[in-house]
Amino acid sequence: MRNKGFLIFLTVIVSVLCLYYLSFSLVSGKVEDKATAYATNASGQVDHYKKQTYLDSVWKAPVWNFLGKDYTYQEIKESELGLGLDLKGGMHVTLEVSPVEIIKAMAGNRKDPAFEKAIAQAQKLQVNSQENFVDLFYRSYREIAPNAKLSSLFANSANRNLSYASSDKDVLAEINREVNDAVARSFNILRTRIDKFGVNQPNIQQLKGTNRIQIELPGVDNPERVRRLLQGTANLEFWEVWRTDEFAPYFTQLNDYLVKEESANKLKGTSTTGASTLAAAAAPADTTLAKAAGDTTALANQLAKVDTAKAKTDSLNTNQSSLLSRLFTPLPGGLGSNVRDTAKVNALFAKEEVRALFPQNMKFLWSVKPIVANDGAEFLELFAVKKGRDGKAPLTGEYIADARQDYSQTGQPEVNMSMNVAGSKKWQRLTADNIGRQVAIVLDNYVYSAPVVQNEISGGSSSISGSFTIDEAQDLANILKAGKMPAPTRIVEEAIVGPSLGQEAINQGLISSLAGLVLVVIFMIAYYAKGGIIANIALLFNIFFIIGILAQFGTALTLPGIAGMVLTMGMSVDANVLIFERIKEEMAAGLNIQEAIKKGYSKAFSSIFDSNVTTLLAGIILFFFGSGPVKGFAITLMIGIATSFFTAVYVSRILIEWMAKGEKASTLSLETPLSRNWFKNIKFDILGNRKKAYLFSTVLIAFGIAAVFIKGELPLGVDFKGGRSYVVDFTSAVPASDVRSALDDEFQGKGTEVKTYGATNRLKVTTSYLAEDESTQADETVQAALVQGLKEYQAQSPKIVSSSKVGATMADDIQKTAVIAVLLAFAGIFLYLAFRFSRWQYSLGGVIALIHDVLVVFSAFTIANLFGVSFEMDQVFIASILTIIGYSINDTVVVFDRIREYTQENPRMKFKDIVNPALNSTFSRTIITNLTVLLVVIVLFIFGGETLRGFSFAMLVGSLTGTYSTLFIASPIVVDTTNVDKENVTTTSAKPVIVS
């Protein structure tokens, strides 16, 4: 085997990297164990607030040293293998930025009948269309007012790029630009809000090609607060700023107050309240910038030592016993605090007696962007702003007409801002009163910039300059524009998972993974003896690589991701089964073990390569069209395909060639007494029975379709039909039918479904009541109706442990995306097979077999539903369909590859006479690989939990029908579409070659 040294080196390097990245998870676990121990009282109860306080205190502190480099707890958390919402609990939200409000605002909110009618019609069309809303609006407007020009609506002072002479094309381009900008601004605002919310490992992404933003917040336990946070309108304000020398005397009074508090607590013999607590809490994670005591001049000097400009602190000098220095640090622009201490400062300023020390018109706000010292410590600047007589800002964002990033005369990035007429007057007055002083630009109570006013600004146009990067200037322009046109957001999809369900999912995932692994390990050893040991070692490497690479990519592990890993176990040994069967064939033909290994790996390579590529196609489609847990499954599947290929083809070969050397060769065996006579001399007439198979499949699929009409419904999940679902726990078993009857009146008979969900005392309630209304008020109404309906079961203590919502428009998009994903999978596989086998008959046979498999799985769901066993068709169902497509074509490609090999070796034989022997020669491999997959799927079905029940049922049916269609559908279709009277026409293809 060539390049063996390089492959060993690569395996070692990948293993070391995996160990390195997985070590972060181990260190994080140890830190959290210490926090738990610190917060556990004598009775064994954990004070979660105390635990979080401990973790906050070490957030910026070094907790691990590796090869001389210190890692803070924050860096550890950012690099660890995270857990998805279904394992950790939390909230998943998809927000949609409303283009309706943007278009109305651009039109000046005019009451034009044609305009309003076009908006309403476009909204109706949007429900059943994936077209851009702006295009739907324009089409509707053209129908209603065919002779009107869009410029008559949109040429106004708010849209300076448009005039009455602008064409409809120009107006549409401007509207689309504004919509896209609004989405980008909303994304930036939401990202900032989430960063300030304090959630570990949040995930926020803008969904390309849509007006939607997807957010995952692990561990949150206050959904209502999150909804308010995400859907609140951005609040842009301009505030006058107090100078340091103006507010410094009040901080002297604050220090006196803290000293008195500390003295009083010491006299009482306690340090649980007041300044002592604040000061002590600040000490554990101190940086090189400041010690627990010392005056502010010393602090400023230390700040200068870490390459930060010396602060002006003359007015803030206090004595050596200053308690302020424990919470506040002089910064180049004024006063600030270490990020870890901001919560303590907020708690201090929240006290009534502390607020009384400061003027009523003084308000404190934090900067949004931290200043980073050389040692990695982060500091937020504290701004004192002046409140007006009514407590409001003198100028708000509604007066801004436009803002954009530009460049100054010296080539430095700056922001140009323009006001409307009313805003220009207010801005002129504000700048005239503050020449030489700062004006703070504040969004959602965080200061984004505080430029110094150089002169009075009239006309409403001004520039903001500073040490901006291009990105910072663009962000500031977006922030300023956020005030111009508020873009309301609405939640179109939501899922809440309680922590108890998350822990249960972890247990189910671990049990199913271990059980699947044990079964595969035992089977491989029982069937392949020492060859099975080699395959199992490769399998363990594979699992290790998958987890390590997930950690390297910062990907969260989800329950479907665990399912992907469990399925990869079956897939990993699949390649080894193919290789071992090839080696056994070569040994039966008279080759010695070394030559048989060389030839077996070489011959099996093309089949393994093709089957992995086709499965990878399904994974890529899943990744681009899936969301949430489905995308996590796709990532795990794709990584598993790559690692299983590497471990099965290369790692196992290194091991088997080592075992085949010298005296060890005589003990190397690929069969046991149990498996020695399996699948010998099989001569099954598969082609001769193909018509019976066609008939059987037709009847089964027809019955499945008929079951839909007999039952009157498809078992669609909330993903596809819209609505809301809730998982409710009771202390004892409650009949699902009784609960449904109790809820029917509350939900006004709107398609309510209640079923047992994983345990007799757990029910899943799904309803389409108010499904078309995606507002927060509707969410509250539906949940209140649920609670009211469950009142008669108060003795069983009903508790909502998770909930989900999918709006009608979102459900429609999910359905269409699912159809597109499946069709793309068919198209991609058809093209790949046509390229690899150079005959369209192979592509046709393969794709018809896949369509057959999809229809059989669909029929299995509808037939099960007919007999009262309901498995939901949802996004996870689509993931299972695409996975089945990948696995089924995997088997089919192996058979096609053997048929191709036989046609090349027997060019004078008729094609139909070649197919049966080729199918029989691969029979053992087809059955054994299906058996390994079947083992892990059965484990998933039994132990994987209710979340994966539908997925594992689909995979169970799919693995069986995939093997059946490979033998009785795919290959017979190739024969039936080929002129069987002709002699064999060999296929040509550039086959991949393994390096031997």
Alpha-carbon distance of 925 to 725, in angstroms, equals 43
345, with CB counted inside 10 A (0-12, 13-18, 19+), is: buried
Integer angstrom CA distances of residue 204 from 189, 191, 213, 410? 11, 7, 7, 36
Give me the pLDDT at residue 262, please. Answer: 77
pLDDT beyond 50 at 309: no
Alpha-carbon distance of 278 to 984, in angstroms, equals 86
Alpha-carbon distance of 535 to 528, in angstroms, equals 9
715 within a domain of the structure (yes/no): no
Q: Are residues 223 and 317 in the same domain?
A: no
Give me the pLDDT at residue 319, please. Answer: 39
Helix (H/G/I), strand (E/B), else coil: 381 = strand
Last-in-domain residue among 745, 768, 803: 803
Q: Contact 911/986 with Cβ under 8 angstroms?
A: no
Give me the pLDDT at residue 127, please. Answer: 67
pLDDT digits (tens, 9 = 90+) for 589-607: 888 888 888 888 888 887 7
Strands, E, within 160-312: which ranges?
A: 203-206, 212-218, 236-241
Give the mean pLDDT of the chain.
78
989 within a domain of the structure (yes/no): no
The DSSP element (H or E) to which 138 belongs, if any, is helix 133-144
Q: Are residues 746 and 838 in the same domain?
A: no
865 within a domain of the structure (yes/no): yes
* Overall number of domains in the chain: 5
Q: Contact 876/622 with Cβ under 8 angstroms?
A: no
Alpha-carbon distance of 245 to 579, in angstroms, equals 80
CB neighbourhood size of 910 (10 A): 15
Q: How confident is the model at residue 577 (pLDDT cuts 50, 70, 90)?
A: confident
What share of the chain has pLDDT > 70, as a percent? Answer: 84
> Which of 325-334, 530-539, 808-817 is predicted with the least confidence, judged by mean pLDDT?
808-817
pLDDT digits (tens, 9 = 90+) for 329-359: 888 778 888 887 887 888 888 888 999 999 9
pTM above 0.85, yes or no: no
Give me the pLDDT at residue 242, please. Answer: 92
Alpha-carbon distance of 137 to 125, in angstroms, equals 9
Give me the pLDDT at residue 483, please. Answer: 54
Alpha-carbon distance of 157 to 516, in angstroms, equals 67
Alpha-carbon distance of 603 to 157, in angstroms, equals 73
717 within a domain of the structure (yes/no): no
Range among 11-15, 515-519, 615-619, 979-983 rated most confident: 11-15
Helix (H/G/I), strand (E/B), else coil: 318 = coil
Give me the pLDDT at residue 855, please. Answer: 93
Residue 161 per-residue DSSP state = T
DSSP character string of 74-127: HHHHHHS--B-HHHH-EEEEEEEE-HHHHHHHHTTT---HHHHHHHHHHHHHHH
pLDDT digits (tens, 9 = 90+) for 256-281: 888 888 777 665 544 333 333 333 33
* Structure token pair of residue 392: 């409001």
Give me the pLDDT at residue 199, please. Answer: 62
Q: What is the CATH number of the domain that holds 727?
A: 3.30.70.3400
Give me the pLDDT at residue 284, please. Answer: 30
Contacts of 923 (CB under 8 A, 6+ apart): 679, 682, 684, 967
pLDDT beyond 60 at 320: no
Half-sphere exposure of 67 (CA within 13 A, CB side): 1
Q: For residues 167 and 444, which has the higher predicted lDDT (pLDDT)? A: 167
> Which of 28-42, 170-184, 730-744, 900-914 is predicted with the least confidence, judged by mean pLDDT?
900-914
Q: For residues 225 and 180, which has the higher predicted lDDT (pLDDT)? A: 180
Q: Are residues 226 and 249 in the same domain?
A: no
Q: Could you tell me which of 609, 657, 640 has the C-alpha nearest to residue 544?
A: 640
Q: Are residues 912 and 774 in the same domain?
A: no
Q: Contact 447/367 with Cβ under 8 angstroms?
A: yes
Q: Are residues 617 and 546 in the same domain?
A: yes
Helix (H/G/I), strand (E/B), else coil: 745 = coil
**Backbone Cα Rg of the chain:** 34
Q: Are residues 227 and 249 in the same domain?
A: no
Q: Are residues 222 and 251 in the same domain?
A: no
CB neighbourhood size of 460 (10 A): 20
pLDDT beyond 80 at 655: yes
The residue-averaged pLDDT of 939-948 equals 77
Q: For residues 50 and 317, which has the higher predicted lDDT (pLDDT)? A: 50
> Which of 28-42, 284-298, 733-747, 802-816 is predicted with the least confidence, judged by mean pLDDT?
284-298
Q: Are residues 263 and 380 in the same domain?
A: yes
Helix (H/G/I), strand (E/B), else coil: 443 = strand
88 within a domain of the structure (yes/no): no
Give me the pLDDT at residue 688, please. Answer: 85
Residue 24's domain spans which residues?
4-80
Q: Are residues 885 and 773 in the same domain?
A: no
Give me the pLDDT at residue 51, please. Answer: 76
pLDDT beyond 70 at 288: no
> Which of 493-497, 575-579, 653-657, 851-855 is predicted with the least confidence, judged by mean pLDDT?
493-497
Name the residue type at position 42.
Answer: A
* Pairing between β-strand 62-66 and β-strand 334-338 as defined by DSSP bridges: unpaired
525 within a domain of the structure (yes/no): yes
Q: Are residues 257 and 292 in the same domain?
A: yes
pLDDT beyond 50 at 307: no
Give me the pLDDT at residue 702, please. Answer: 95
Give me the pLDDT at residue 233, please. Answer: 63
The residue-averaged pLDDT of 51-75 equals 80
Instruction: Output the furthest CA–CA distance in the chain (Å, rounded).
Output: 107
Q: What is the 3-state secondary structure (H, E, C) of 389-442?
A: CCCCCCEEHHHEEEEEEEECCCCCEEEEEEECHHHHHHHHHHHHCCECCEEEEE
Alpha-carbon distance of 784 to 746, in angstroms, equals 9
pLDDT digits (tens, 9 = 90+) for 377-413: 788 899 999 987 778 888 888 788 888 888 888 888 8
Q: Contact 540/565 with Cβ under 8 angstroms?
A: no
Q: For residues 262 and 705, which has the higher predicted lDDT (pLDDT)? A: 705
Last-in-domain residue among 755, 782, 803: 803
Give me the pLDDT at residue 856, please. Answer: 94
Alpha-carbon distance of 681 to 588, in angstroms, equals 13
Give me the pLDDT at residue 703, please. Answer: 94
Alpha-carbon distance of 180 to 183, in angstroms, equals 5
> Which of 28-42, 130-144, 222-236 is predicted with the least confidence, judged by mean pLDDT?
222-236
What share of the chain has pLDDT > 90, as a percent? Answer: 7
Give me the pLDDT at residue 706, please. Answer: 94
Q: For residues 986 and 218, which has the higher predicted lDDT (pLDDT)? A: 218
Q: Are residues 411 and 263 in the same domain?
A: yes
pLDDT beyond 90 at 240: yes
> Which of 52-66, 121-135, 288-302 is predicted with the least confidence, judged by mean pLDDT?
288-302
Contacts of 669 (CB under 8 A, 6+ apart): 529, 530, 531
252 within a domain of the structure (yes/no): yes
Give me the pLDDT at residue 281, please. Answer: 31
248 within a domain of the structure (yes/no): yes
Q: Are residues 156 and 66 in the same domain?
A: no
